[in-house]
Structure 1
Amino acid sequence: MKINQHAKLSVAPMMDWTDRHCRYLHRLLTRQTLLYTEMVTAPALVRGGAVHLLEFSEAEHPVALQLGGSDPEELAQAARLGFEAGYDEINLNVGCPSDRVQSGTFGAVLMKEPGLVADCCAAMAEAVPIEVTVKCRIGVDDQTPEEVLPEFLAKVSAAGIDRFIIHARKAWLQGLSPKENREIPPLDYALVHQMKALFPGLHLSVNGGIDSLEQAADFLDRGLDGVMIGRAAYHQPADLLLEADARIFGGTSPLTAPEEAVHAMLPYIEAHLASGGRLHQISRHMLGLFAGRPGARGWRRVLSEGATKPGAGPELVLSALDQVGQVPASA
């Protein structure tokens, strides 16, 4: 299956969340969904030598590396490092609105400079044989999305970029926190559909506010090429990903229940602990596995209270699993 086919459904890059342990869990739940790293800045890789940030398991494929930056040469070098590390795609972040990212001229602030984004993408595409993609917003601040988004897509696609993930909200670079920027600016899915009609040759995915496979399938049925799901996939991974291969890709699900994912994680946990890691570094990503199911609160409580304690290991995970299916006694 080509990378574009995997991109029918993807899990968004999320800072502090979609690390390699999270992605390993998600890959157990879905073979086909495209996974993304947290954003890694090009300066950290090129100037800081932080190549350890590129470490991942071969089991995670297909997996994309998201980069942040605005210097074409530096991004090209970072993309090359990502390719050499084995990633299947390099993605440029043109959507994150945080102050920290803006100060480095990364993320959504680049929506104001489509020419620079095009230069960055051209340099990256020339540096690697794998696909380079862009994740963007529909606009920022007082921009008019109906005007700036088509201009942005035209300029950047002219640099050789064929695939875009569009977060269907504006970003406000001042006055709103990153969390507020995910919730307050209104969603404009219709504009993303208009862009697909205007640029039928581009592969366009929609992102923002999508919290079910039914919603994802509807976007695909209405002509979009892909759907990217963020926080819902993290907080309810079994609900969003366990049926994805069957419902979105027409295949078969690798597992039938979240309990199977817990048992499949145990060897991975043991290997991580043997290398000097801590249980909570993995278990924090597993807290939502039983969301909406009997015993979910007990599962979360046992893991949350015990995983940070010295010596915590697989036996704690199994103890937490014993809570699943148990209905709390009424007061």
Structure 2
Amino acid sequence: MQETQIDIPPPPSPPPADLIARLRLRGLLAGEGAEALAGGRSNRVWRLSGGLVLKLYDPSAATPIFANDAGREAAALIALAGIGLAPELVAAEPAGQAPWVLYRHLPGERWVEGAGAVGRLLGGLHRQPPPDLPAGPDGSAALAGQGREILALCPDDAGLAALEPKGEVAPAGRRVLIHGDPVPANIVVGPKGAALIDWQCPALGDPAADLAIFLSPAMQLIYRGAPLDPAEEQAFLAAYPDGRVIARLRALLPWFHWRMAAYCQLQAGRGQTPYAEGLALEVSALQRSLKK
């Protein structure tokens, strides 16, 4: 009888011993043990003793939409210290060959429901004084440029080049601190409310970009298991405090969906199979947005 072979994933690797030794030498780590944390798709993350989280960066994981920059994370956590929107930074080494950040664990559960809380969370974030960060894309031309840059990395564009939206929405000229990746896996709901983790791609940008990432059907599918339904979308937008940003989001939706469709095609081509379904969702959303 032929035996069935089952692929068993390798056990999570521990953090580098030399880095742990350096943290101990600096007095930042006293206890033993490291638990690998699931959820991150770009970097390796461990929960250490004393309520600390260590993130070891893979700089090659950056994409045209999602930067992967330890320096940006450190700058954002410093700027947001003490207000409950982000973890507390303990230490960072963003300029080395293997960049890392160390921060205090933020207690809570990954967000899965209650979209209004996320609207309020992003509204509060976008009012904060911004640190010195790179500029994010602003306006339809910049979003389209990112989409073309992504498609240039794809062996097959799946017909997306022909779907690029027409027309133009001018830059807003308003730049606020944006998280850059507010997907469900990066939103923690704890005793003090909702907060954001995984700050590897913040920017000074159009706040509509954060709203678009959260509303993205592909990102909701991949990180929560299902897109938002119309009632959830409405609750999210109703809770966000700035109607001007919502109006801008609606004007830019075709470009946001087209850019995300390109990203899904890139990731699907790299073997990330859930993104194939995400691509179909984004194309459908793009077509709906063009009819409005």
TM-score normalised by structure 1 residue count: 0.27
Instruction: Give the structure with the larger helix fraction.
Output: 1
TM-score normalised by structure 2 residue count: 0.30
